[in-house]
Amino acid sequence: MRNILALGEIRAGALRNISFEMLSAAQEIAEGGKITAVLIGCDDQTLAHELGRFGADQVYFVTGDQLSHYTTDGYLQVLHQLAQEEKPDILLFGHTAVGRDIAPRLASRLGRGLVSDVTDIQLEAGKITFTRPIYAGKAFQQVEMAEDRWLATIRPNNMTAKPLDSKTDPTIIDYKVETSQIRTIIKEIVKKTATGVDLSEAKVVVAGGRGVKSAAGFEPLQQLADLLGGAVGASRGACDADYCDYSLQIGQTGKVVTPDLYIACGISGAIQHLAGMSQAKVIVAINKDPDAPIFEVADYGIVGDLFEIVPLLTEELKTA
Ligand code: FAD
């Protein structure tokens, strides 16, 4: 029996899908233990019902000054305090900007091991095995933790979020924390990129590389992404060339995405880029160089000029 605590994530007032994916993973391994979801800086208790549908037995709504925006300092203090009070055996986080930042620090404070970027969790005869990519996604490693109490970060879009057939609403715990010790205060967030589909969780990603040639060159990619209900991403080549914001960068030093469809336009396919997208279910590459390495990982390849092919594809899909 394992008690599990998962940090839910919210974007634009709604729960991110990774919150449900983590709870479903927790269901698989709890073996009758209690599953707790935590939402920090949120007092919208209507969200508890959804978390309950995916397996949460109780939901903490943690509020206090300085908690409405993520800060490493604030979240670390809250989660450390909660972990000491709730004593969960396992703490789960999304392998997201928040989870990647907070989980290693909390693991260190709690003196526990951390397995990061988990794409699968298997429970067999009481023993848990994790699968995680290594060598920039070229191989997978299976890991077992030497101790029973650990932390993990779960890669979004890899585990299926499974709602339960029947479930009573979870217990809601209104948790007010003393935040005078928090040393970082976020006064204002000025968004650089337009809000739209969340790149990390998008089912379709249309990504541009240096071959897009300018900021204006991203427009046809945006149109295709909009049509497919997806998000635009980029290679570091495109970000370094100032064609787009670094928040769009996909790869080893950028975001990791696992969409159903990844359309790479004018991207050569360097290993550091593949690290962030090679787990996409279907990869389409558009490149004018037939020898570009991206074709080695692509399911479908189109050799040609992206400025001809992307608008053609968009027109074709509009009438499909
Ligand atoms: P290029 O390699 O220049 O490729 C451009 C491609 O566009 C070419 O294949 C060309 O044939 C094609 N093209 C040009 N014009 C057209 C056209 N009109 N139509 C169709 N195709 C066209 N990179 C990342 O992406 N993400 C990372 O996170 C990342 N992290 C890194 C970390 C480290 C430590 C290092 C050293 C590098 C990292 N890089 C990363 C950089 C990586 O090595 C590559 O330099 C980068 O991915 C190249 O970007 P690109 O494919 O857009 O550009």
Render pLDDT for 262-283 as a digit per residue (tens, 0 to 9): 999 999 999 999 999 999 999 9
What rounded mean pLDDT belongs to the chain? 93
Average confidence (pLDDT) over 241-258? 93
Q: How far apart are CA 314 and CA 293, in angstroms?
A: 25
Q: How far apart are the first and last CA of the chain?
A: 51
Within 6 A (CB) of ligand 1 lie 209-211, 235-238, 249-254, 266-268, 270, 272-273, 276, 286-289, 292, 305-307
Share of the chain above pLDDT 70, in %: 99
Looking from the CA of residue 210, the nearest atom of ligand 1 is 52
Render pLDDT for 17-51 as a digit per residue (tens, 0 to 9): 999 999 999 999 999 999 999 999 998 999 999 99
Query: Cα of 307 to ligand 1 centre, how many Å?
Result: 17
Residues annotated within the binding site for FAD are 210, 235-236, 249-253, 266-273, 287
User: Looking at this protein, which amino acid is placed at residue 310?
Assistant: V
Give me the residues paired with residue 123 across strands.
Answer: 128
65 pLDDT band (50/70/90 cuts)? confident
Average confidence (pLDDT) over 208-214? 98
Nearest by Cα to 62 from 35, 39, 46: 39
227 pLDDT band (50/70/90 cuts)? very high
Render pLDDT for 66-106 as a digit per residue (tens, 0 to 9): 898 999 999 999 999 999 999 999 999 999 999 999 999 99
Predicted model pTM: 0.80
Four-CA torsion 151, 156, 158, 162, nearest 10 degrees:
90
Looking from the CA of residue 237, the nearest atom of ligand 1 is 49
pLDDT recorded at residue 193: 58
- The yes-or-no verdict on residue 192 having pLDDT over 80 is no
pLDDT recorded at residue 194: 58
